[in-house]
Amino acid sequence: MWKSLLAAALLVPAALAQTSPQIELANLREDVRGLTQRVGELMLRLEQLERENAELRQRAGAADKHQITLTQLNDAIADASRTLRAAIATSKTETLQQVGTQLEKLGKQTNAALDALAKSHATRPAVQTTFAEDYAKEGVSYTVQKGDSLALIAKKTGAKQQDIVNANKLADPSRITVGQTLFIPGGK
């Protein structure tokens, strides 16, 4: 079980490198949620094992009263209890170490994704809020196709990019969408 969680954790960075920061962040959140759920499941299983152990102790005590002394039974139960507690403590420690390591890795990946996202927003060009009116008032309509950019549209139609921006009042020319209709001043 832990091997599959570890393998999944190792695949996360490779998958993150190919996705957007928002998807990376969502994936990281999902991984943390999955780990939290798994720890909860393990804690429930531990409680169940402790209850079953208590039941077994009661049954053993009732059945063996006639065959062993009470002191022998108490010693055996104490030994079993110590062994079980040691195994439980070891299991808890190992689980918490693995979860802690994975949470630390996920935290670092999250911070890196957030830093990358912040840097991408910091380097984004200023949004244009004023538009010139010195473009040709005659032209053609153009519907944006898949793979089109403003530069490609200008080249296809023989228009100037800035004239297309001004005529359509495009605050962010990099955000044209497929199916959007643009007025192309002086275009053919």
Per-residue pLDDT reduced to its tens digit, 164-186: 999 999 988 888 999 999 999 98
Segment 123-146, tens digit of pLDDT: 656 666 788 888 888 899 999 999
Segment 13-64, tens digit of pLDDT: 555 455 688 999 889 999 989 889 998 898 999 999 999 999 998 887 776 5
Closest CA to 9 of 39, 34, 43, 40: 34
Segment 69-116, tens digit of pLDDT: 788 888 899 999 999 999 999 999 999 999 999 999 999 999 998 988
Helix (H, G, I), strand (E, B) or coil at 140: strand
Q: Which long-range contacts (CB under 8 A, 24 or more apart) does 16-23 make?
A: 16/109, 16/113, 21/113, 21/114, 21/116, 21/117, 21/120, 22/117
Q: Which residue has the higher pLDDT, 74 or 4?
A: 74
pLDDT value at position 15?
53
How many whole angstroms separate alpha carbon 151 and alpha carbon 159? Answer: 9
Length of the chain: 188
CATH architecture of the domain covering 139-185: Roll (3.10)
| Cβ count near 33 (within 10 Å) | 10
